[in-house]
Amino acid sequence: MLTPAGLGHLPLHITEHGWPTGPDRTPHRQADVLATVVGSVAAHAADLGLSGYTHFALRDADSANPGLFHQFGLTTDDYTPKPAFETMRRLVDRFSA
């Protein structure tokens, strides 16, 4: 879609990606989803002109709230790491330039 608009030369940056924890959404599944998405992004970055990836949130907005939009963080709201925190650390080590 960018090429016909004359913008095909611009790099893309994936922003605000995330997969929340909560009821029926385990912290380990969050880590698995993160690894899958970032691995796919890295594998196709050159072909798609991707220049970066930004995870949605370091910490949950409210870890006690079971609502879907309160637990996107790699840590709980008191900064206790979830499994995805370590997953992200390993992904950064692996894919950083």
Distances 87 to 67, 69, 78 between C-alpha atoms, Å: 24, 21, 19
pLDDT of residue 97: 65
- Residues 15-54 have pLDDT tens digits of 889 999 999 999 999 999 999 999 999 999 998 889 889 9
The pTM is what?
0.88
Q: What is the pLDDT of residues 55-85, one digit of tens each?
A: 999 999 999 999 989 999 999 999 999 999 9
CA gap 4, 22 in Å, rounded: 41
CB atoms closer than 10 angstroms to residue 58: 12
